[in-house]
Structures are given as C-alpha cells and as structure tokens.
C-alpha cells in the first residue's frame, strides 16, 4: 500500500515537472523571439542621418541654382560661379557646366552666355519708370515667394544699365528660368543682401 502511494506521488511529481519545464521553455522561446524582433525594428526606425556636407564635398548630382547665381563668386577663380539651390545650400560650379532651358522650347539648352530675362525695371528708379525688353543675366538674387529677382546684367547697346528688378508670375515665365549645373562642390559662403532692391514698382 505504501509503495503504491509513493509511486503515484512520484508519477504526479514527474508529470508536474514536465509541465513546468515545457512552460519555462515556451516562455524562454517567446522572450528570445521578442528580443530578437525588437532591436531589429528599432534599428530600422533609427537610421542615422547622412553626414553633414563639408567644404569641398562634391554634389551628388546636378544642382539647380534656384535662389541665386553669381552673387559671391570664388576669388581668383574666373571659371567658377557661385550657386545657391532651392534648399539654400551654397555651391561653386564650373561655368562651362551650367545650362539654361527656355520654357518655350524645352528641347534645347543653352550656356549661361545666352541667359536672359525680359521686361525688367531699371534700378535705381527715376520719375519715369524704365523697362528693358531683354537683359543678359550675369548674376541674380531671387525672392521666389514674391515673384521678383534682383539682376545684375552685362551692359549692351540695347540695355546699357547694370542693375534690374525682374518680376515673374508663373513658373513658365522667362524670368523664372533657373540654371542647372554639374560638377559643383559644396562651399559655405554668405549671401549678399540685395533685398533692399526688392521694392514694388512705383
């Protein structure tokens, strides 16, 4: 009788031990599974940002000079031009690698020598406002949100003036054309403040 009772207790204890071992193993596997997934998801969500640009870093592609061109050219480097893109990053670009595309003929591109704006107001203003039909763009600083640019041009017989205020109302305007340049290098430089010239017409 005593041996049978002991045998029952032993069997019950043994079965209980198996159940506990199974539960512990299940919890351990689940815990390991959670720990494995958690860090993987965290690593995907917290990718480090790209390194900040340093002076001399090459542009990763073509740069569009959306906010300014030629306002702070590098000293003693006549073959390079300053360029500030729409993201306000500052670049130096080889002039020979810059092109403009006429919105009225997007199939062809021209060099900066053919870069022109039209119907621009002469600065400084006089009692009688003067507008030049076409000017050759040498440099510009754009206030794109207000549709206006200050432009320094190369004097010609048709337009002997050096500074103009050029306005634009739509994206296909000639005065909203912005050059594209390749081979640019990043360089920090301070923008020239031409905003005092951005006044409304009298």
Number of structural domains (the chain) is 2
Domain check: are 95 and 5 in the same one? no
List of residues 6+ apart from 171 with CB closer than 8 A: 103
**Quick check: is 77 in a domain?**
yes
**Quick check: is 55 in a domain?**
no
CB 119 within 8 A of CB 135: no
**Quick check: is 54 in a domain?**
no
**Quick check: is 165 in a domain?**
yes
Q: Which tokens is 118 given?
A: 């039209």
**Quick check: is 2 in a domain?**
yes
Boundaries of domain holding 43: 1-48
Give pLDDT, residue 47. Answer: 74
DSSP at 14: H
pTM of the model: 0.70
Domain check: are 78 and 154 in the same one? yes
155 closest CA partner among 163, 147, 165: 163
**Quick check: is 93 in a domain?**
yes
**Quick check: is 196 in a domain?**
no
Domain check: are 107 and 32 in the same one? no
Look up tokens 């073509």; give the residue. Answer: 62
Domain check: are 83 and 171 in the same one? yes
Domain check: are 90 and 19 in the same one? no
pLDDT tens-digit profile, the chain (202 residues): 444 433 443 344 444 444 444 444 544 444 444 443 434 444 555 677 778 899 999 999 999 999 999 999 999 999 999 999 999 999 999 999 999 998 877 778 899 999 999 999 988 777 666 788 889 999 999 999 999 999 999 877 777 788 999 999 888 899 999 999 999 999 999 987 776 666 554 4
**Quick check: is 116 in a domain?**
yes
């Amino acid at each position: 009788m005593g041996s049978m009772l002991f045998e029952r207790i032993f069997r019950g204890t043994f079965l209980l031990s198996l159940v506990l071992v199974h539960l512990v193993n299940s919890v351990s596997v689940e815990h390991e599974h959670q720990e494995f997934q958690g860090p993987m998801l965290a690593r995907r969500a917290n990718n480090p940002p790209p390194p900040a640009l340093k002076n001399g870093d090459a542009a990763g592609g073509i740069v569009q000079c959306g906010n300014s061109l030629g306002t702070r050219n590098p000293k003693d480097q006549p073959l390079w031009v300053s360029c500030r893109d729409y993201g306000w990053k500052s670049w130096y670009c080889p002039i020979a690698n810059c092109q403009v595309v006429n919105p009225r003929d997007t199939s062809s591109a021209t060099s900066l020598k053919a870069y022109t704006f039209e119907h621009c107001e002469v600065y400084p203003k006089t009692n009688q406002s003067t507008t030049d039909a076409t000017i050759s763009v040498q440099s510009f600083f754009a206030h794109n949100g207000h549709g206006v640019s200050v432009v320094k041009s190369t004097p010609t017989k048709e337009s002997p003036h050096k500074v103009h205020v050029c306005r634009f109302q739509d994206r296909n305007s000639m005065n909203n054309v912005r050059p594209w340049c390749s081979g640019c290098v990043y360089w920090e430089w301070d923008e020239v403040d031409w905003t005092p010239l951005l006044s409304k017409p009298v």
